[in-house]
């Protein structure tokens, strides 16, 4: 039965994840953030693999923890508290396995899901986005049409499938053990021709075309990949023929909740840092206008974070209960992302000039929060989707 409340075992796990995030992941993350995102560093994935946290909602029969969405959201929140990039790696893994969990064959699940549950760290990626010169960034209202304009193609050749094209902005893509790729039938441009395929990461013809350097989430390596006549077994098609569009929407609807959890974790880290600075500098109280301003500002931040967390947990509960979750998941992602951006910006103001210096934790939180707006669609796109459901 679905529950909004974590059980004792889950609470112990969340506490364990929090300690891991604060004591081990965060120190390494700040080092990697300063270095940049030229390479895939394996220190953090190794920590996560040791605890079987690279994709914690994988069912137990495939070696996973089998966590509920409520518990998984709590794990993502704590990981993002220590490092949003580490949380993004895990969320990307979950995005990649979602089509398999929904529509994958038993053979596909048995072959690929256990790769993310072993002690040796492995990553997965989902390849959807495409960079095209005809895309007009000044017309975000057209972004919803991009899903039906996939240019990467597939063609059946006997018992094999040939994949051609390129995909942009792929987190984990350079070192992924497997990739869930969305392509269209080479003879059609209709959304009914879209199909997901699972590609082994070492498939011949997959090449890194560009390493992308981001303003935030630098601990998750991100690339542009090319697929040059990549040949895979036809059995690696995920779901029934032409199910790609529906699977994509289901994948987005399910996992927007986890993006919201990332926002809550970042906001909580920024708030706690601002609160600590305010206490250390005796900025709290009501004895002066400046102290009252700081105190009331922190109260607003705390209220926003709690509201965002409740929004995320409500969406996670609806997913576990198999209730209508599409709208609440989108709302959780939208609101928690906005809260993360507002809270991190306000935290920098409370902390003062040090918060604006490169290398200060507050500055990193601010950059990481800004990145959430472009993952799985812009805020404008989410508002457009939500408005259609009113």
- Which of 50-59, 247-256, 290-299 has the lowest average pLDDT? 290-299
Find the CATH number of the domain harbouring 353: 1.20.140.10
Contacts of residue 277, Cβ cutoff 8 Å, sequence gap at least 6: 283, 350, 351, 352
pLDDT of residue 165: 94
- 156 and 281 both lie in a single domain: no
pLDDT of residue 286: 56
- 252 and 269 both lie in a single domain: yes
The structural domain count of the chain equals 3
Instruction: Give the separation between CA 63 and CA 81, rounded to whole angstroms.
Output: 26
Among 242, 261, 283, the domain boundary falls at: 242
User: Is pLDDT above 80 for 73?
Assistant: yes
Mean confidence (pLDDT) of the chain: 89
Tens digits of residue pLDDT in 294-303: 888 899 999 9
Among 58, 92, 122, the domain boundary falls at: 122
Number of other residues whose CB lies within 10 A of the CB of residue 72:
26
Contacts of residue 95, Cβ cutoff 8 Å, sequence gap at least 6: 126, 180, 251, 255, 376
Among 216, 242, 268, the domain boundary falls at: 242
- Which of 259-268, 323-332, 368-377 has the lowest average pLDDT? 368-377
- 256 and 375 both lie in a single domain: yes
What's the whole-number mean pLDDT along residues 20-36?
92
The pTM for the full model equals: 0.92
**Position 334 in a domain:** yes
Domain range for residue 192?
Answer: 127-242
Percent of the chain scoring above 70 in pLDDT:
89
User: Is pLDDT above 60 for 292?
Assistant: yes
pLDDT of residue 187: 75
- 103 and 147 both lie in a single domain: no
Q: Which two tokens stand for residue 6?
A: 């974590």
Residue 261 phi, psi (nearest 5): -60, -35
Find where tokens 């920098």 sit: 348
What's the whole-number mean pLDDT along residues 173-196?
88
- 131 and 180 both lie in a single domain: yes
**Position 38 in a domain:** yes
- 89 and 147 both lie in a single domain: no
- 378 and 273 both lie in a single domain: yes
- 217 and 332 both lie in a single domain: no
Q: How confident is the model at residue 376 (pLDDT cuts 50, 70, 90)?
A: low
- 153 and 94 both lie in a single domain: no
Instruction: Give the separation between CA 205 and CA 203, rounded to whole angstroms.
Output: 6
Find the CATH number of the domain harbouring 195: 2.40.110.10
**Position 58 in a domain:** yes
- 256 and 376 both lie in a single domain: yes
- 224 and 263 both lie in a single domain: no
User: Is pLDDT above 60 for 135?
Assistant: no
- 274 and 317 both lie in a single domain: yes
User: Is pLDDT above 50 for 245?
Assistant: yes
pLDDT of residue 290: 64
**Position 364 in a domain:** yes
Q: Do 376 and 143 contact (CB within 8 A), yes or no? A: no
């Amino acid at each position: 039965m679905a529950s909004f409340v974590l059980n004792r075992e889950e609470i112990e796990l969340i506490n364990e994840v929090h300690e891991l995030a604060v004591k081990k992941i965060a120190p390494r993350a700040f080092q990697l953030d300063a270095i940049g995102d030229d390479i895939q560093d394996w220190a953090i994935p190794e920590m996560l693999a040791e605890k079987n946290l690279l994709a914690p909602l994988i069912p137990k029969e495939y070696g996973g923890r089998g966590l509920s969405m409520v518990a998984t959201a709590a794990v993502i929140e704590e990981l993002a508290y220590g490092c949003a990039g580490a949380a993004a790696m895990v969320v990307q893994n979950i995005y990649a396995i979602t089509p398999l969990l929904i529509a994958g064959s038993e053979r596909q699940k048995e072959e690929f899901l256990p790769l993310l549950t072993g002690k040796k760290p492995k990553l997965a990626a989902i390849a959807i986005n495409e960079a095209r010169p005809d895309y007009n960034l000044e017309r975000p209202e057209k972004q919803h049409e991009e899903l039906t304009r996939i240019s990467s193609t597939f063609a059946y050749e006997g018992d094999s499938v040939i994949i051609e094209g390129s995909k942009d902005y792929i987190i984990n893509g350079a070192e992924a053990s497997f990739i869930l790729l969305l392509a269209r039938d080479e003879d059609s441009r209709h959304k009914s021709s879209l199909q997901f395929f699972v590609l082994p990461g070492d498939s011949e013809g997959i090449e890194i075309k560009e390493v992308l350097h981001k303003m935030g989430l630098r601990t998750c390596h991100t690339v542009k990949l090319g697929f040059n006549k990549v040949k895979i077994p036809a059995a690696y098609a995920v779901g029934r023929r032409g199910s790609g569009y529906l699977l994509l929407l289901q994948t987005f609807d399910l996992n927007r909740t986890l993006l919201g959890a990332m926002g809550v974790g970042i906001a909580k880290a920024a708030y706690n840092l601002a609160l600590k600075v305010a206490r250390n500098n005796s900025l709290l109280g009501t004895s002066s206008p400046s102290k009252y301003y700081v105190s009331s500002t922190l109260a607003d931040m705390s209220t926003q974070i709690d509201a965002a967390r409740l929004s995320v947990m409500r969406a996670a509960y609806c997913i576990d209960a198999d209730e209508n979750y599409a709208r609440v998941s989108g709302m959780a992602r939208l609101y928690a992302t906005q809260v993360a951006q507002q809270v991190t910006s306000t935290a920098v103001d409370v902390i003062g000039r040090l918060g604006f210096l490169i290398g200060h934790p507050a500055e990193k939180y601010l950059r990481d929060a800004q990145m959430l707006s472009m993952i799985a669609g812009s805020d404008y796109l989410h508002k457009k989707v939500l408005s259609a459901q009113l």
